[in-house]
Amino acid sequence: MSNKDELVGFKVHTMEYQTKVNKMFANRKPWKAADPCEIRSYIPGTVLKINVKVGDTVKAGESLLVLEAMKMQNQIEMPFDGKVKEICVTEGDRIPKRELMIILED
Amino acid sequence: MSLKKHILDLRKRKEKVEMGGGEKAIEKQVAMGKMTARERVLAILDQDSFTEYDLFVEHTAKDFGMDKKQLHGDGVIIGTGTVYGAPIAIFAQDFTVAGGSLGLMHARKITKIMDHALKMRVPLIGINDSGGARIQEGVNSLAGYGEIFYRNTIASGVIPQISVILGPCAGGAVYSPALTDFVFVVDQISKMFITGPGVIKTVLGEEISMEELGGARVHAETTGNAHFFAESEQECFDQIKKLITFIPWNNTQKAKEFPPKEPLFKGNIEDLIPADPRNPYDVRDVIKGIVDDGDFFEIQELFAANIVIGFGRLKGQTIGFVANQPLVLAGVLDCDSSDKAARFIRYCDSFNIPIVTLEDMPGYLPGADQEHAGVIRHGAKVLYAYSEATVPKITVILRKAYGGGYIAMNSRHLGADFMFAWPTAEIAVMGPEGAANIIFKKEIDNAENPEEMRQLKVQEYKEKFANPYVAAAKGYIDSVIEPNETRNILLHALEVSEYKDVQHPEKKHGIPPF
């Protein structure tokens, strides 16, 4: 059988079992609630144009930036009326999915 | 010309075409550690059984200077042969001819042999080694791919389809293997991806090698796209040949029977299993202890190892085994293991292979990631596949059968023909700890020493309910058997299931939770 050292305590519901864990399980990330003030990319792409500056007051629906992905220029819109607190990307950046682009405040 | 001259001329023509892309290209192929397409076909098929067709096919492209280029066989070899006597249709893309790129005639050759395989109801083996679409042929290449995918789909569940990835298989091309039953990959040689490292770098700036992105190991371990992983091409061919001995040639046949053999394991099966349900063991040892000659042919060994699937024989008859693996993730069902099991169950059902399920599972894997990954719809595939299957379905519960897992793993309620349980079986809605905490909450909370009371109640629950007899009293379990009786009782169950005939309502097809 397998090497005893690889066994770990593994809780399923109320029982704890001795077992091995696979890579997928070992690498899984704990779930975190999304912060509505953090604007993250929903698709990997290139930041084409940033339409706001730090400190700007922006109305819901106005364009924050243009994210080009899959040959499509996607307008990233302001989700609510608020202010731009921080801009974490610059024009021309190639970013992956879920990358933090802009931080807002109410 | 005399007749002899004609024959000599034919030989010369053949010789030339059989060289594929020529000596230089072959040298390059060998330098990459790869065999040539022709060598591969000959290595898989029985000696002298290969007959080739469409050797003299040529491409019809005219643009971009293609009219001046001759591509031998248009970069693919097709033909028929046998593997241990089984009739086989085969195609092999030849990377030495224009990188094995797929143009219209190349695709026509492949679809021709696919049509032949389907008409003759024989297994199809496809060897993929291609740089992708032949860009000079434009939409004709895309048409070619589409026509291949269509045939893969129509032939699915009628004839066995085997894909062997022995080189790059990129872009749209990967969908043909994905539509087939079994995908074989070889370390360092196989590369499969939809978008390659180049595009990923341009779009995302992420640097990843072909091997890390879509190498053999990635597909065998992480994506589950591959079913068999080999260290070398020769090992891969041996795996293919072995697989062919286990499966029928089409969906109207049964797998060829082999001379019956006794298991190699001579000890007590129960000694393979720890009594404490929280301790692990390798369920493959149990399967090997039951099957003929200890010969268990595992499928997707490296992917979602918390469930074990594969073929073995019982008195010479091919059986599909599905078993929870307590050694990995305690044998839970999760998204990947559900997909893996469900697809295999459907394969067995399509090809008249009885299914034996060995159950020892604590339930579904808890976690936000699992729920968000859709463990509901993935898990439902297992229920769907078992319920729908009409081949003989036999379950043996070794230890735990808790909650939804009990229902999912081919329970009586999903149409199991035989339900056996070892005396160690615990069939309950949940483990004793959890159940006692809920049922006896009041008693525990009000006790002077709650922990002591909890232990007492857990013990009480264990004795009363964590056993196979409650389910047996309802007839949900047909027999509680001694572990050492397992093989004999399976043999008997199979013997009396020989003429099983179950007809479901007629329908075009169901809607499984894909």
Taking each helix axis as running N to C, give the angle between helix B233-246 and helix B37-44, from 0 to 180 degrees, rounded to the nearest 10: 40
Collect all residues of chain A within an 8 Å Cβ-Cβ radius of residue B222.
23-24
What pLDDT score was predicted for residue A32?
85
Compare CB distances from B363 to A2, A12, A44 and report the shortest one's residue.
A12
pLDDT band at B185 (very low <50, low <70, confident <90, very high): very high
Mean pLDDT, chain B, integer: 95
Alpha-carbon gap: B383 to the closest alpha carbon of chain A (Å): 21
pTM for this predicted structure: 0.92
What pLDDT score was predicted for residue B426?
93
What pLDDT score was predicted for residue B408?
96
Closest residue by Cα to residue B327 from B365, B369, B361: B361
What pLDDT score was predicted for residue A28?
84
A91 touches chain B (CB under 8 A): no
Task: Kindly determine whether residue B329 and residue A29, on different chains, have CB atoms separated by under 8 Å.
Answer: no
Written in H, E and C, the secondary structure of B148-192 is HHHHHHHHCCCCCEEEEECCEEEHHHHHHHHHCCEEEEECCCCEE
What pLDDT score was predicted for residue A1?
47
Collect all residues of chain B within an 8 Å Cβ-Cβ radius of residue A12.
330, 332, 362-363, 365-366
Tokens matching residue B178: 């994905």
Domain boundaries, chain B: 3-246, 269-430+467-495, 432-465
pLDDT band at B244 (very low <50, low <70, confident <90, very high): very high
Q: What does the pLDDT look like over B290-308, one tens digit per residue?
A: 999 999 999 999 999 999 9
Q: What does the pLDDT look like over B471-513, one tens digit per residue?
A: 999 999 999 999 999 999 999 999 999 999 999 999 999 999 9
Q: What does the pLDDT look like over B306-350, one tens digit per residue?
A: 999 999 999 999 999 999 999 999 999 999 999 999 999 999 999
Which helix or strand (DSSP H or E) is residue B26 part of? Answer: helix B23-31
Residue B177 CB coordination number (10 Å):
25
Q: Are B74 and B59 in contact (CB under 8 A)?
A: yes
Overall fold of domain B269-430+467-495 = 2-enoyl-CoA Hydratase; Chain A, domain 1 (3.90.226)
Q: Sheet of B228-230: strands edge to edge?
A: B51-53, B76-83, B86-93, B124-128, B161-165, B182-186, B228-230
Q: What does the pLDDT look like over B9-19, one tens digit per residue?
A: 999 999 999 99
Average pLDDT for B86-108: 96
Question: Which domains can be identified in chain A, with CATH numbers?
Answer: 38-105 (2.40.50.100)
* Low-confidence winner among A28-32, B5-9, B145-149, B488-492 (lowest mean pLDDT): A28-32
Task: Kindly determine whether residue B369 and residue A31, on different chains, have CB atoms separated by under 8 Å.
Answer: yes
Q: Are B355 and B392 in contact (CB under 8 A)?
A: yes
Alpha-carbon gap: A79 to the closest alpha carbon of chain B (Å): 24
Tokens matching residue B63: 């643009």
The CATH label, of 3.40.50.10260, 1.25.40.10, 1.10.1060.10, 3.90.226.10, for the domain at B3-246 is: 3.90.226.10
Q: What is the ipTM of this complex?
A: 0.76
The torsion angle over the Cα atoms of residues B439, B442, B444 and B450, rounded to 10 degrees, is 150
Alpha-carbon gap: A57 to the closest alpha carbon of chain B (Å): 30
Collect all residues of chain A within an 8 Å Cβ-Cβ radius of residue B212.
none
Chain B stretch 340-379, residues whose beta carbon is closer than 8 A to a beta carbon of chain A = 362-363, 365-369, 372
Among B200, B281, B332, B340, the strongest candidate for a mutation testing the A interface, having the largest count of A CBs within 10 A, is: B332
Q: What does the pLDDT look like over A9-28, one tens digit per residue?
A: 988 877 889 999 888 888 88
Percent of chain B scored above 70 by pLDDT?
Answer: 100
Tokens matching residue B102: 């797929």
Contacts of B297 (CB under 8 A, 6+ apart): B242, B243, B246, B310, B311, B312
Alpha-carbon gap: A14 to the closest alpha carbon of chain B (Å): 5
Q: What does the pLDDT look like over A51-63, one tens digit per residue?
A: 999 999 999 999 9
**Scanning every residue of chain B, which has its alpha carbon at the shortest distance from the alpha carbon of A44?**
B204
Task: Kindly determine whether residue B280 and residue A18, on different chains, have CB atoms separated by under 8 Å.
Answer: yes
> What letter does residue A65 receive in the DSSP assignment?
E
pLDDT band at A3 (very low <50, low <70, confident <90, very high): low
Domain B3-246 identical in fold to domain B269-430+467-495: yes
Average pLDDT for A73-98: 93
Q: What does the pLDDT look like over B338-365, one tens digit per residue?
A: 999 999 999 999 999 999 999 999 989 8
Percent of chain A scored above 90 by pLDDT?
Answer: 59
**Scanning every residue of chain A, which has its alpha carbon at the shortest distance from the alpha carbon of B332?**
A12
pLDDT band at B1 (very low <50, low <70, confident <90, very high): low
